[in-house]
Amino acid sequence: MAEHSSPTLLMNDGSKIPVIGFGTYAPEYIPVSLSEQATEVAIEVGFRHIDGAHLYQNEKEVGRAIQKKIADGTVKREDLFYTGKPGGDLIPMDKDGKAQLDATTDLCAIWEAMERCKDAGLVKSIGVSNFNRRQIEKILNKHGLKYKPVCNQVECHPYLNQSKLLEFCKANDILLTAYSALGSHRHKDWIDQNSPVLLEDPVLAEIGKKYNKTSANIAIRYQIQRGVVTIIKSYNPDRIKENFKVFDFELTPEDMKTLDGMNRNLRYVDIKLFYDHPEYPLHDEY
């Protein structure tokens, strides 16, 4: 059973979100069955935020794990916060089944579809992922906006601390959620394998020694103290347990300043498949 409960942050719609979440994405070489096992372990350890997506192609397995942990009494459904990311079914289509997307309408059209889902009770909160400042502003300035985004999930870690985007989101009462919070080398098709390994950085190791914590613990705690919701992925049961041990210590202001200094504006995740799309978010500074 969990040694600590996960603190929560209040979102702008009044709902609360656990500050750390278990990420369920895995590269194709990892058997999909492990998604179910890893999610069960995560819930047993104490994770109460599960981060999934249609794109991950393992929602059934993750769902079964959640159902098992509810059935055996580990958690109640109301204890869990599930983040989902829909597929293409929310994209407006014309009568011939062609996607009606262009540079000026796609984001707002999809947002309106999500607002209808909230009105219908299909979702409790609506957030965005991989949005830059300009795209968020487009939503916030949309005529007739009913619900502003509660969060923006982006790549964020000590090598890419997203300080400007974080400041902008905080100013607009939008939470920043970090994926690839421990760096990433898993997907060889779209991650440069020559990029530095975040968790091998001596700065993280040195700070970790002070608290008898791992480099991963330090990277996670750094985000928590910045007010960033942090998604952590692992399919190793021991690492899942170790990664949750971040609520029994606190980094000093000096530590936080040192970690801020690690920023290199280095992206691990740069999906060039969408590079030519007019709304590709990474062309902007933030």
Q: Which residues are tagged catalytic?
A: 56
Q: Which residue has the tokens 């969060």?
A: 151
Cβ neighbours of residue 208 under 8 Å, at least 6 residues apart?
214, 215, 217, 218
Do 213 and 222 meet the contact criterion of CB atoms below 8 Å apart? no
Is 121 strand, coil or helix? Answer: coil
Question: 16-18 and 8-10 as β-strands: parallel, antiparallel, unpaired?
Answer: antiparallel
Contacts of 86 (CB under 8 A, 6+ apart): 54
Strand order in the sheet with 151-155: 81-83, 49-51, 20-23, 229-232, 175-179, 151-155, 128-129
What CA–CA distance (Å, rounded) separates 26 from 187?
Answer: 9
At 22 the three-state DSSP class reads: strand
Nearest CA to 22 out of 45, 2, 1, 42 is that of 42
